[in-house]
Amino acid sequence: MHFSGQPIKQFDLTPLAKAGVFVIHIGNDEPEGGHDIFKPHRDRHYMLIIALGGSLKMMLDFEEVLINQPSMLLVFPEQVHHVVELKDPQGWAIHFDPSLIQEEFQRVLQTGFAKPLLFTQTDTLQAQVITIASLMHQLQSEVPTTYTGRTMHELLAAILSLLAGKFSQMPVGNKSKEGRPSIIERDFSQLLLRYYKTWKQPSQYAQALSVSVSHLNDTVKDISGYPVSVRIQQTSILEAKRLLYFTNLSVKEIGYEVGYDNPVYFSKLFKKATDLTPLEFRQQFRD
Model pLDDT for residues 225-258, shown as the tens digit of each residue: 889 999 999 999 999 998 998 888 999 999 999 9
SS3 279: helix
The CATH H-level (homologous superfamily) assignment of domain 180-286 is: Homeodomain-like (1.10.10.60)
Q: What gap in Å lies between CA 149 and CA 55, rounded to an integer?
A: 32
SS3 144: coil
Q: 156 falls in which pLDDT band (50, 70, 90)?
A: very high
Query: Which CATH architecture is the domain 10-168 placed in?
Result: Sandwich (2.60)
Please tell me the pTM assigned to this model. 0.74
Q: Among 97, 101, 94, which residue's Cα sits nearest to residue 129?
A: 94
Q: 31 falls in which pLDDT band (50, 70, 90)?
A: low
From-to residues of CATH 1.10.10.60 in the chain: 180-286
CB 274 within 8 A of CB 62: no
What helix, strand, coil percent values describe the chain, rounded to 5?
45, 20, 35
Q: What gap in Å lies between CA 15 and CA 168, rounded to an integer?
A: 35
Q: Among 37, 76, 33, 80, which residue's Cα sits nearest to residue 56?
A: 37
Kindly report the average pLDDT of the chain as a whole number. Answer: 88
The dihedral formed by the CA atoms of 244, 249, 253 and 256, expressed in degrees to the nearest 10: -50
Please report, rounded to a whole number, the percentage of residues in the chain having pLDDT higher than 70. Answer: 91
Which parts of the chain are beta strand (E)? 10-11, 21-26, 42-43, 46-60, 63-67, 71-75, 81-96, 117-118
Which pLDDT does position 286 carry in this prediction?
62
Q: 181 falls in which pLDDT band (50, 70, 90)?
A: confident
CB 178 within 8 A of CB 168: no
From-to residues of CATH 2.60.120.280 in the chain: 10-168
**182: part of which helix (H) or strand (E)?**
helix 180-195
SS3 57: strand
